[in-house]
A and B are shown apart, each in its own frame.
Chain A
Amino acid sequence: MASHGIKDRVAIVGMGCTRFTEHWDKGTDELLAEAASDAFASAGVTKETVDAYWLGTAMSGMSGMTLAKPLHLEGKPVSRVENMCATGSEALRQAAYAVASGAYDIAMAIGVEKVKDSGYQGLNGFPIPTDGTNRTLTAAAMFSMVAPAYGHKYGVDDAQMREVLSRIASKNHANGALNPRAQFRRPMTVEQISAMKPVAGTLNVFDCSGVADGSAAAIVVRAEDAHRYTDSPLYVKALSFVAGNGTGLLDPDYDYTTFPEIVQCGQDAYAQAGITDPRRQLAMAEVHDCFTPTELVLMEDLGFSARGTAWKEVLAGAFDLHGDLPVNPDGGLKSFGHPVGASGLRMMFEAWLQLRRQAPEERQIDTTRKLALTHNLGGYPGEMVSFVSILGTELG
């Protein structure tokens, strides 16, 4: 298997990100226009000088015209892409490869989701006609099976597990409280979160990501052209994607304490970027904390913690804003909110701010290390897609 990657061949030179919230006063068009305008301005380009567009949206529109119409694009190629909750990352991945291939000089990746027009809480997939035998379980319930499985395997009792999960949520709420673009800006204590009533397994609503509308965008160019647009580009070190085949659901050996697709995806990304010790080499990580047990397991699947130890590191604060490896310094899906098609690009937006030291002072992390990881997943334990990117401010 060859996965060569495109290390240092493409750079992000401008980004935009709307606030993620319940935008009752904005539709898909307005959200796209806002994120795109910010990204154009950030890179100092115009919609005419961008050669090609990739639009990620899971369920807010069909085809490239969903973007071409609000931006009034003339004669531009626009591809709409979808890869479940990793849709935004997929848009960036396609745009980056198109630029790396030489087909285009400047491309935009933009993600959007308008989820709050459905009239329902949570995320609701579009109905594909089926034989009716597919599961009707919510994502919260699917991921809730991870917590008891992890606790059972590593000897974490129910009370300890509750504290670990609340600690993850509380950390992400604390980070989000410092972020003006985040959906939820109220700090929550471990005690407050632990006191909530469960809605799926042992998970309560504060174990679940926020559901918000929003859009985020990036402008990508060839690395050698990057300094025409900015003094501080963000180089793409690795882009990895793995689509699971659902065997976890069939395999009696699968124990719900790990996500094999993510392990594979992380290893591929580290190989592309030449990373050998992610815990020591990364300055930060934005990970797909759709539910608190997901973030717990991701710390091990991405190689930040040894198997069975992440829960202790969570309690010790290793992944806090000023911990050994800050995870979700922008508040994560938990408090930034999760507009499906935009989230992957929102994660990169935080890397864009942090590594270039443009984050607000109160949440600026240490940037002695020069690399950031973003991790975006779609699906459920046993059947998921996974994306990992490595981004950095220096070539080589």
Chain B
Amino acid sequence: MATRQGRRGILSHAGYLPYRRLDRSGIAPVAGTGGGRGTRTVAGFDEDTTTMAVEAGRFAMRALPDARPGALYLSTTAPAYLDKTNATAVHAALRLGSEVVAADFGGAVRSSVAALRAALGGGEAVLAIGSDLRTGLPGSVDESGGGDGASALLVGGDEDGALLAELIGQGSATEEFLDRWRTPGDVRSKQWEEKFGETRYLALGEQAWTAALKDAGLGADGVDRVIVTGPHTRAVGSFAKRLAGTVAVDDDLAASVGYTGAAHPGLLLSGALDAARPGQVIALVSLADGADVLILRTTPELGAFRAARPVATQLGSGGDLPYGKYLSWRGFLTVEPPRRPEPGRVSASAANRSVEWKFGFVGSRAPSTGQVQLPPAVQLDEVLEAAPMSEIRGRVATFTVDRLAYSPSPPIVFAVVDFDGGGRLPLELTDLDAADVHIGDRVEMTFRKLFTVDGIHNYFWKARPVRD
């Protein structure tokens, strides 16, 4: 660790699991093959890697509201846009300052660990977010073994806040070999015969593991727990088994969540930090087109940290999704839409003018009356104050179920929401079934994609039931 200046590590962390769960036993009766035991997480029809990144980012920032990251990195293998940066929408939803850099680390699973390494390397505080949708053809291993989710790690030095875990060693190994691949535009990845990739990953993993331990000045017995993750299930299992003799290996959430790609290293690390005690050494091993090992030691400050929504809590709160609905949400099954015209595409200039409202969910407040105006009112006779509402909860004043309106997944459940402390807005509800809504229900805000027209994603906020 001689080359690094000052301590560097994790300031805050969060995972985000979408509400819906697909029971893998529902796959084979339809697809004729595939499936298995347990569940996987499924992003809502109104979620993509950008919206899930926002949710994870909000959780991480909520736990440390005074943090001021200088950069936002978004890593995904399933970007909502190509050519256009996706991190800027996350940046807007998190209301980061315009001086904060927002950039995508895209394409391969390894990008999220690479972004984390870059963030740990020094400089300003970085919010490193991994977010992924894992899709395979119906009946495939990628379909049943994949999961959707996001994770956010706020990385910095002592000058940025109290470190929860300090980086004490790292090692990497890189080699060109073909294990899995997807050509741009294809809906699924393909994989070479597993045993070949396994030989490469075990060798590269060993190399990186040894280098990281040396960097940390530890023997393997100095590591309390290890996280092993990567897209190659067999290699991950074999490598974990090798280490299991000397180190406690964390559950990789394969049975309940599935492998969430670029989100997974951060998701497992967040879960590990939720469960860890101060003074423990945690190693993260990522096997993805090479191997990366990061070794962290938790600090005394860990005990005072309160996660906004621990991964374990989210694991316990999910709703079933039938396989047919999953297929239609993923675009594998085209269902007859309501016979209504598609909405118009979003105006770029109009969206830019209202970026604080559309992405940040900031209304206005009239100082004279205290009334909260959603959307923000036009300034006339008095200077209005900003009223940030994304973290404010509310209750359902009344609601309706619209079976006629255009929606990517009808029917639309709409509620008039009264926010705590003032403000009212009719909002679409999400992450629930139409029969489950009642007047008086508590709701919280969530960043979603309303629809996509002309390839333009229309991001805005919806309300979902409070479940904690």
Q: Which residue of B lies closest to A199 (CB)?
A: B403
B404 adjacent to A138 (CB under 8 Å): yes
A137 adjacent to B402 (CB under 8 Å): yes
B89 to chain A, nearest CB (A): 12
Would you give the 0/1 interface string for B387-401, flagging 1 where the beta carbon is closer than 8 Å to chain A? 000000000011111
A131 adjacent to B350 (CB under 8 Å): yes
| Complex contacts, A200 vs chain B, CB 8 Å | 400-404
A249 adjacent to B401 (CB under 8 Å): no
A140 adjacent to B404 (CB under 8 Å): yes
B422 adjacent to A201 (CB under 8 Å): no
Which of B51-59, B264-272, B371-379 faces chain A? B371-379
| Complex contacts, B401 vs chain A, CB 8 Å | 141, 198, 200-201
* Residue of B343, B414, B458 touching A127 (CB-CB under 8 A): B343
We find that the number of chain B residues with CB closer than 8 angstroms to chain A is 45
B412 adjacent to A122 (CB under 8 Å): no
B3 part of interface (Cβ distance < 8 Å): no
Which of A29-37, A155-163, A250-258 faces chain B? A250-258
User: Quick one: given A251-B424, A252-B424, are A199 and B404 in contact (CB under 8 Å)?
Assistant: yes
| Complex contacts, B458 vs chain A, CB 8 Å | 132
B460 part of interface (Cβ distance < 8 Å): yes
Which B408-444 residues sit within 8 Å CB-CB of chain A? 412, 414, 416, 418, 422-426, 428, 439
A124 to chain B, nearest CB (A): 5
A250 adjacent to B374 (CB under 8 Å): yes
User: Quick one: given A131-B354, A133-B460, are A141 and B422 in contact (CB under 8 Å)?
Assistant: no
A and B contact pairs by CB, cutoff 8 A, 30 listed: A120-B341, A121-B339, A124-B340, A130-B344, A131-B354, A132-B347, A132-B459, A132-B460, A133-B357, A133-B358, A133-B460, A135-B414, A135-B426, A136-B343, A136-B407, A137-B412, A138-B405, A140-B402, A141-B400, A141-B402, A141-B404, A142-B400, A148-B398, A149-B398, A200-B401, A200-B404, A249-B424, A250-B372, A250-B425, A251-B424
User: Quick one: given A198-B403, A252-B422, are A132 and B398 in contact (CB under 8 Å)?
Assistant: no
B335 part of interface (Cβ distance < 8 Å): no
B276 part of interface (Cβ distance < 8 Å): no
B344 adjacent to A127 (CB under 8 Å): yes
| Complex contacts, B354 vs chain A, CB 8 Å | 131, 133
A145 part of interface (Cβ distance < 8 Å): yes
A249 adjacent to B425 (CB under 8 Å): yes
Would you give the 0/1 interface string for B344-364, flagging 1 where the beta carbon is closer than 8 Å to chain A? 101100110110011000000
| Complex contacts, A3 vs chain B, CB 8 Å | none
* Residue of A128, A135, A256 touching B398 (CB-CB under 8 A): A256
Once the chains are docked, how many angstroms separate the CA of A127 from the CA of B345?
9
| Complex contacts, B423 vs chain A, CB 8 Å | 250, 252
Question: What 13 additional pairs, Cβ within 8 angstroms, besides A141-B412, A201-B400, A250-B423?
Answer: A120-B339, A127-B344, A132-B346, A132-B350, A136-B412, A137-B426, A145-B398, A199-B404, A200-B401, A200-B403, A201-B402, A249-B425, A250-B374
Band of interface residues on A: 35 or more
Which A348-382 residues sit within 8 Å CB-CB of chain B? 382
A102 part of interface (Cβ distance < 8 Å): no
Once the chains are docked, how many angstroms separate the CA of A88 from the CA of B422?
38
Q: Which residue of B lies closest to A245 (CB)?
A: B377
Once the chains are docked, how many angstroms separate the CA of A142 from the CA of B333?
31
A75 part of interface (Cβ distance < 8 Å): no
A129 part of interface (Cβ distance < 8 Å): yes
| Complex contacts, A128 vs chain B, CB 8 Å | 344
B460 adjacent to A252 (CB under 8 Å): no
B450 part of interface (Cβ distance < 8 Å): yes
B50 to chain A, nearest CB (A): 14
Once the chains are docked, how many angstroms separate the CA of A208 from the CA of B71?
53
A58 to chain B, nearest CB (A): 16
Once the chains are docked, how many angstroms separate the CA of A121 from the CA of B403?
13
Most buried by B among A121, A130, A198, A382: A130
Once the chains are docked, how many angstroms separate the CA of A14 from the CA of B37?
77
B353 adjacent to A131 (CB under 8 Å): yes
B344 adjacent to A129 (CB under 8 Å): yes
Most buried by B among A124, A127, A142, A252: A252
| Complex contacts, B329 vs chain A, CB 8 Å | none
Once the chains are docked, how many angstroms separate the CA of A120 from the CA of B414?
22
Once the chains are docked, how many angstroms separate the CA of A127 from the CA of B443?
30
B340 adjacent to A122 (CB under 8 Å): yes
Once the chains are docked, how many angstroms separate the CA of A153 from the CA of B114?
59
B404 adjacent to A122 (CB under 8 Å): yes
Would you give the 0/1 interface string for B314-354, flagging 1 where the beta carbon is closer than 8 Å to chain A? 00000000000000000000000001110110110011011
| Complex contacts, A256 vs chain B, CB 8 Å | 398, 416
3 nearest A-B residue pairs (beta carbon):
A127-B344, A141-B402, A132-B346
A144 part of interface (Cβ distance < 8 Å): yes
User: Quick one: given A132-B460, A200-B401, are A141 and B414 in contact (CB under 8 Å)?
Assistant: yes
B406 part of interface (Cβ distance < 8 Å): yes
A298 to chain B, nearest CB (A): 19
A129 adjacent to B373 (CB under 8 Å): no
| Complex contacts, A254 vs chain B, CB 8 Å | 424
Which A55-76 residues sit within 8 Å CB-CB of chain B? none
Once the chains are docked, how many angstroms separate the CA of A212 from the CA of B48?
40
A244 to chain B, nearest CB (A): 15
Once the chains are docked, how many angstroms separate the CA of A250 from the CA of B439?
18
| Complex contacts, B358 vs chain A, CB 8 Å | 131-133
* Residue of A118, A135, A149 touching B341 (CB-CB under 8 A): A118
A124 adjacent to B341 (CB under 8 Å): yes
B324 to chain A, nearest CB (A): 21
Once the chains are docked, how many angstroms separate the CA of A141 from the CA of B451?
19
User: Quick one: given A136-B412, A200-B403, A256-B398, are A129 and B350 in contact (CB under 8 Å)?
Assistant: yes
Q: Which residue of B lies closest to A201 (CB)?
A: B400
Once the chains are docked, how many angstroms separate the CA of A142 from the CA of B424?
15
| Complex contacts, B351 vs chain A, CB 8 Å | 131-132
A137 to chain B, nearest CB (A): 5
| Complex contacts, B399 vs chain A, CB 8 Å | 145
| Complex contacts, B374 vs chain A, CB 8 Å | 250
| Complex contacts, B375 vs chain A, CB 8 Å | 133
A257 to chain B, nearest CB (A): 10
| Complex contacts, B339 vs chain A, CB 8 Å | 120-121
A57 to chain B, nearest CB (A): 19
B408 to chain A, nearest CB (A): 11
A251 to chain B, nearest CB (A): 7
Most buried by B among A122, A131, A145: A131
Which A133-187 residues sit within 8 Å CB-CB of chain B? 133, 135-138, 140-142, 144-145, 148-149, 152
Q: Which residue of A lies closest to B413 (CB)?
A: A141
* Residue of B357, B425, B426 touching A131 (CB-CB under 8 A): B357
Most buried by A among B404, B407, B428: B404
Once the chains are docked, how many angstroms separate the CA of A138 from the CA of B375?
20
B322 to chain A, nearest CB (A): 22
Once the chains are docked, how many angstroms separate the CA of A131 from the CA of B354?
7
Once the chains are docked, how many angstroms separate the CA of A116 from the CA of B244?
70
Once the chains are docked, how many angstroms separate the CA of A327 from the CA of B132?
58
Once the chains are docked, how many angstroms separate the CA of A199 from the CA of B375?
28
B106 to chain A, nearest CB (A): 24
A130 adjacent to B404 (CB under 8 Å): no
| Complex contacts, B341 vs chain A, CB 8 Å | 118, 120, 124
